[in-house]
């Protein structure tokens, strides 16, 4: 990065995002860019949206068939990207959203290329052809392409159909005893990192996944004289002790690389490795793993219980997901609770 810094200092390279975009992408360049953003030398921008737009522009330009390029443009730009912007409502695109959109676009290309290789189009493709695609071991992205195929059918571009996979609940056993054992340790073990303890408790007690936890800011924490409230959804929830004490501690003692080079204290509750950025979901997941927490399974266990106890809007859970969990927990709770009761040891804390 020394030559880049020298060029910027000497005015040989403009201090703009566009000038940095012309350089080969690398982690050091990304870090430099974020430092420049943090000190106010560059404006903030949605990096993953920029990467997504760049990816889609290149992919569409590489399509030789005009009709195929037109369909992909409608799907990737006017459907996937527009829906992503609407859902985020001003929030930056996450790495997971970027990866999902890119994967779905690749799947659409793979299916269209398969059709072309077999002398077919979306219009001439029949259900028997689609079934052949789904059983063709040489075909790639076979099941991910279902999203594109359902979109094409909705828009009357094809008559074939791939049903969406119905979610019927968690595929792994729900171990509520393990959840509470880990939660008790996080509540009382002062030798652990307060940030890790708070993040783990938000997952175990309030079913917040890493993608939600890493986006929390200090503005989401209301610290009063006698109580601490946390905004996870539409309405704040009051944190009990000692979770409230942990939240106070984390807000007051935030550290990490993200504060280096910043003009003001980081707004993120869990700062990350780049100035002005929160901890990545990957790094947060790794830290939770070291505490004995597997986020997906632990969150499923928490959701199973919370579905019948806490309104979904206070946890930031989508209504459809909440309804599904309520159905599952209402139907299976008696059996599950009975099974857990057999493992309970009287007098155990």
Length of the chain: 349
User: What's residue 306's pLDDT?
Assistant: 63
Between 267 and 118, residue with greater pLDDT: 118
76 has a pLDDT exceeding 70? yes
User: What's residue 344's pLDDT?
Assistant: 40
* pTM score, whole prediction: 0.62
Mean pLDDT of 151-160: 94
Q: What digits encode the pLDDT tens for the residues 265-324?
A: 678 889 877 777 788 888 899 999 998 888 877 777 677 666 555 554 455 555 455 455
Q: What digits encode the pLDDT tens for the residues 213-264?
A: 988 989 999 998 889 888 887 778 888 888 889 999 999 887 544 444 555 6
Cβ 144 vs Cβ 107: under 8 Å: yes
What is the rounded distance in angstroms from the CA atom of residue 292 to the CA atom of residue 232? 24
**C-alpha of 214 from chain center:** 9
What is the rounded distance in angstroms from the CA atom of residue 261 to the CA atom of residue 223? 27
Of 5-9, 38-42, 229-233, 253-257, the range with the lowest mean pLDDT is 253-257
Give the Cα-Cα-Cα angle 181, 185, 188 (nearest 5 degrees). 135
User: What's residue 342's pLDDT?
Assistant: 45
What is the rounded distance in angstroms from the CA atom of residue 182 to the CA atom of residue 164? 35
Q: What digits encode the pLDDT tens for the residues 189-202?
A: 999 999 999 999 88
Using the 8-state DSSP alphabet, how is residue 230 labeled?
E
Question: Which of 83, 137, 76 lies closest to 107, judged by CA?
Answer: 76
Of 64-68, 121-125, 250-254, the range with the lowest mean pLDDT is 250-254
Please write down the HEC assignment for all residues of the chain: CHHHHHHHHHCCCCCCHHHHHCCCCCHHHHHHHHHHHHCCCCCCCCHHHHHHHHHHHHHHHCCCCHHHHHHHHHHHHHHHHHHHHHHHCCCCCCHHHHHHHHHHHHHHHHHHHHHHHCCCCCCCCCHHHHHHHHCCCCCCCCCCCHHHHHHHHHCCCCCCCCCCCCCCCCCCCCCHHHHHHHHHHHHHCCCCCHHHHHHHHHHHHHCCCHHHHCCCEHHHEEECCCCEEECCCCCCEECCCCHHHHHHHHHHCCCCHHHCCCCCCCCECCECCCCCCECCHHHHHHHHHHCCCCHHHHHHHHHHHHCCCCCHHHHCCCHHHHHHHHHHHHHHHHHHHHHHHHHCCCCCC
What is the rounded distance in angstroms from the CA atom of residue 219 to the CA atom of residue 214? 13
Burial status of residue 33 (CB atoms within 10 A of its CB: 0-12, 13-18, 19 or more): buried
Cβ 317 vs Cβ 297: under 8 Å: no
Task: Indicate the helix (H) or strand (E) that contains 20.
Answer: helix 17-21
330 has a pLDDT exceeding 80? no
Mean pLDDT of 137-162: 90
Question: Which of 169, 170, 150 lies closest to 159, judged by CA?
Answer: 150
> pLDDT-based confidence at 147, cuts 50/70/90?
very high
User: What's residue 102's pLDDT?
Assistant: 95
Question: Which of 309, 314, 302, 306 lies closest to 231, judged by CA?
Answer: 314
Cβ 130 vs Cβ 162: under 8 Å: yes
């Amino acid at each position: 990065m020394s030559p880049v810094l020298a060029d910027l200092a000497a005015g040989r390279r403009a201090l703009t995002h566009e000038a940095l975009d012309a350089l080969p992408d690398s982690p050091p360049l990304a870090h430099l860019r974020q430092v420049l953003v943090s000190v106010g030398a560059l404006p903030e921008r949605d990096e993953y949206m920029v990467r997504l737009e760049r990816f889609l522009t290149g992919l569409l330009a590489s399509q030789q068939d005009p009709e195929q390029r037109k369909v992909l443009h409608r799907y990737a730009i006017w459907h996937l990207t527009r829906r992503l912007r609407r859902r985020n409502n001003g929030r930056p695109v996450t790495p997971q959203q970027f990866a999902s959109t890119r994967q779905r676009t690749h799947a659409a290309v793979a299916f269209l290329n398969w059709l072309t290789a077999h002398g077919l189009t979306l219009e001439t493709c029949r259900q028997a052809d689609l079934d052949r695609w789904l059983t063709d071991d040489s075909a790639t992205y076979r099941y991910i392409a279902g999203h594109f195929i359902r979109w094409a059918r909705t828009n009357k571009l094809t008559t074939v159909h791939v049903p969406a996979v119905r979610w019927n609940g968690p595929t792994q056993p729900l171990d509520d005893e393990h959840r509470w054992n880990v939660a008790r340790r996080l509540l009382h073990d002062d030798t652990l990192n307060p940030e890790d303890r708070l993040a783990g408790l938000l997952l175990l007690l309030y079913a917040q996944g890493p993608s939600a936890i890493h986006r929390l800011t200090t503005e989401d924490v209301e610290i009063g004289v006698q109580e601490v409230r946390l905004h996870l959804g539409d309405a704040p929830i009051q944190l009990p002790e000692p979770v409230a004490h942990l939240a106070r501690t984390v807000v007051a003692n935030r550290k990490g690389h993200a504060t280096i080079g910043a003009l003001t204290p980081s707004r993120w509750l869990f700062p990350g490795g780049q100035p002005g950025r929160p901890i990545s979901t990957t790094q947060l997941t790794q830290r939770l793993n070291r505490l004995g927490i597997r986020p997906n399974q632990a969150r499923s266990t928490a959701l199973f219980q919370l579905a019948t106890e806490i309104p979904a809007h206070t946890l930031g859970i989508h209504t459809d997901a909440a309804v599904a969990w309520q159905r599952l927990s209402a139907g299976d709770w008696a059996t599950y609770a009975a099974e857990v009761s057999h493992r309970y040891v009287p007098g155990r804390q």
